[in-house]
Amino acid sequence: MPGTSRGALGLEEFLADLRELVECESPSSDQAAVARSADLVARIGARRLGAEPERITIDGCSHLRWRFGDGERQVLLLAHHDTVWPLGTLATHPYETTGGVLRGPGCLDMLAGLVMAIHAVADLPERTGVTLLVTGDEELGSPTSRALIEQEARRATAALVLEASADGGALKVGRKGVSRYEVHVTGRAAHAGLEPEKGVNTTIELAHLVIAASALGDPAAGTTVTPTVIAAGTTSNTVPASGSFALDVRAWSHDEQLRVDRALRSLTPNLPGAAIEIRGGVNRPPLEEPASRSLFERAVAVAERLGLPPVSGATVGGASDGNFTAGVGTPTLDGLGAVGGGAHADHEHVVVARLLDRTVLVRELVAELREDGT
């Protein structure tokens, strides 16, 4: 690796590990596939780190933890091994490297970052005080791993998240918080031709509510309230008696999340006889910039000292498990993973030339933070 005289693992070994992981498909919704992926991550990690991980299975979902030392001042590296791609994607999106660009399902989000984390820890001269947590349900919103992530964050002095970088390799110094809702409406069925006036039409009620909910967004504050999936009714000649729609809410501050939550729960029906039920709430708190500022400054200084590519920062609308670590008060820096683009899309890719310098940055940042805590 550049910028070091230590016996670091080279690019060939890095790419060999990454290929194994990409070719072991791990869609989040398939727990058997995630378990197979966890087995592979455990083997690769044991080979590189010389230590077996702790296997943590929660509600059938497979997570892994390497903890070096038992102190309460850990440096936490956070990654996930699940992806959004269904089994069989390799048939149309095979692993390949052409012209310095690596492709394959999940390569950017976030299998390359996971390999970076393993190799960075493997090359540390001293690992005491370091924890590597690899979860298996991040793409689902971390329903089984959230408590585990927050538990580890509370015993950490810093959390480094190996999600892919922002455009051009920028570190992610801020992320919007995410709230998810389902708005359910109950009305009354009736024959659409004979006596529609005797029904309470949930499709009409839903239309009113979709408009009211979307109006809760605040462009000036960066708050978005986006209706997504909607459904109502049973047959084309029946006044629909029930229906629902989903809402995706993103905000830069927890206060904005609470404002939208209160407003949604105060919505009232437009049609006499209709009833509204709001399900869901805040899923991930925001990663606000103050939580990352000191770590970002450290990363900038490390890059300058080692002659690595300059480090920049960016705020992004997407969320990650770094939202959870920041939410419990742990300083958090995100986007330390691979440089590339196309996450969740057919053109997902990783820039091979940036893999090693990014891994050096992570390793040296961990080394400095670990020394601070000892």
Count H helices, E strands: the chain? 9, 18
Tokens of 128: 């005491």
The Cα–Cα gap between 12 and 14 comes to 5
Judge residue 326's burial from the number of C-beta atoms within 10 Å of its C-beta, 0-12 exposed, 13-18 middle, 19 or more buried: buried
CB 145 within 8 Å of CB 136: yes
The Cα–Cα gap between 19 and 102 comes to 10
Q: In terms of Cα–Cα distance, which of 348, 355, 203 is closest to 274?
A: 203
274 and 315 housed in the same domain: no
Any domain includes 5: no
CB 154 within 8 Å of CB 160: no
Any domain includes 112: yes
CB 249 within 8 Å of CB 179: yes
227 and 351 housed in the same domain: no
Which residues face 80 on adjacent strands?
A: 135
* SS3 at position 239: strand
Continuous segment of H or E residues that includes residue 65: strand 61-68
Q: Which of 249, 284, 319 is the last residue of a domain?
A: 284
Continuous segment of H or E residues that includes residue 113: helix 112-122
Q: Which of 233, 268, 284 is the last residue of a domain?
A: 284
Any domain includes 265: yes
The Cα–Cα gap between 52 and 136 comes to 17
44 and 145 housed in the same domain: yes
The Cα–Cα gap between 336 and 344 comes to 18
135 and 192 housed in the same domain: no
**Which residues form the domain of 210?**
177-284
Any domain includes 191: yes
Residue owning tokens 């999600």: 163
333 and 280 housed in the same domain: no
35 and 182 housed in the same domain: no
25 and 48 housed in the same domain: yes
CATH of the domain at 259: 3.30.70.360
CATH of the domain at 39: 3.40.630.10
CB 250 within 8 Å of CB 223: yes
260 and 278 housed in the same domain: yes
The Cα–Cα gap between 13 and 355 comes to 12
The per-residue pLDDT string of the chain (374 residues; one tens digit each, 9 = 90 and over) reads: 444 434 455 899 999 999 999 999 999 999 999 999 999 999 999 999 999 999 999 999 999 999 999 877 899 999 999 999 999 999 999 999 999 999 999 999 999 999 999 999 999 999 999 999 999 999 999 999 999 999 999 999 999 999 999 999 999 999 999 999 999 999 999 999 999 999 999 999 999 999 999 999 999 999 999 999 999 999 999 999 999 999 999 999 999 999 999 999 999 999 999 999 999 999 999 999 999 999 999 999 999 999 999 999 999 999 999 999 999 999 999 999 999 999 999 999 999 999 999 999 999 999 999 988 64
280 and 298 housed in the same domain: no
The Cα–Cα gap between 240 and 190 comes to 8
**Structural domain total, the chain:** 2
Q: Given the DSSP bridges, would you call strands 74-80 and 340-341 parallel, antiparallel or unpaired?
A: unpaired
The Cα–Cα gap between 263 and 325 comes to 27
146 and 31 housed in the same domain: yes
The Cα–Cα gap between 183 and 284 comes to 19
Any domain includes 4: no
Q: Which amino acid is at 131?
A: T
Side-chain-side CA neighbours of 107 within 13 Å: the count stands at 31
Any domain includes 6: no
Q: In terms of Cα–Cα distance, which of 292, 329, 286 is closest to 179?
A: 286
Residue 140 pLDDT: 94
24 and 80 housed in the same domain: yes
171 and 210 housed in the same domain: no
Q: Which of 284, 310, 334 is the last residue of a domain?
A: 284
Any domain includes 172: yes
Any domain includes 3: no
